Amino acid sequence: MERLKQMTRDQIIESMTAEDLRYDEYESKVTEYMDKAKTVDDVNLLLEVACHRRNEALVDAITSVLGRRHTFSGIAVQGNSASVDRLLNLIAEMLSQTWHGAYEDLVAELEKFPHPKTIEALRQMVDIKPAILAELDDGDALSRKAIWALGKIASPLDDRKIDPEIKSAALDVLHVLSSHSDKLVVERIHKQLDRISKSHHEDSIEAQLKDAST
């Protein structure tokens, strides 16, 4: 660990690409790298290494360390930029791959980014059933999380300010999916649509009461 502390970010990256390592070894390297990381591009470089190495232990270490640090949440509040656009492309690329099992972790991070690319990636995750997850629950949890994420973009549960066009796009996708051939998907979609409808109704009443008091 002391040797890692003395290494530069580039040296740590080089050590991760030199050979396949154990999860705990990758976790130590990713942790030390993130201690030195300063920009979104530094995070992008880490994801690029993961895509290049196609190493499941490395991806697990990255999603674990970045998740504990709330790295993606911190990036999301910075707003859109070319670097964030690249980040979303990298996450979408990783979601399209079949050599890892970090789909659910990546979907959970995606919902923090209200963006057209996010909506499309989440839509695809409703249907995709990676072989590695099919052995566990046939990809059911992934589909559920993707639907939940779309719902939270269409109607946030917190006070996030999301572009109305993005919210509308997520809602449109939910409406399209409401005629899905999988009855369980349809049931989950309707739960989200019902929640959103109720939320909009409550917002409308609140706005009317506010107008009446002014």
- Mean pLDDT in consecutive groups of 10 residues from the start of the chain, 214 residues: 69 85 93 92 93 91 95 90 94 90 92 93 89 67 93 88 93 96 94 88 52 52
Q: How far is CA 202 from CA 52, 155, 211, in A?
A: 48, 12, 14
Q: What is the pLDDT of residue 209?
A: 46
Q: Are 150 and 123 in contact (CB under 8 A)?
A: yes
Q: What is the pLDDT of residue 201?
A: 55
Q: What is the pLDDT of residue 210?
A: 55
Q: How far is CA 104 from CA 110, 125, 181, in A?
A: 10, 9, 22
Q: What is the pLDDT of residue 7?
A: 79
Rounded Cα–Cα distance for residues 118 and 100 (Å): 20
Rounded Cα–Cα distance for residues 211 and 214 (Å): 5
The letter for the amino acid at 110 is L
pTM of the model: 0.83
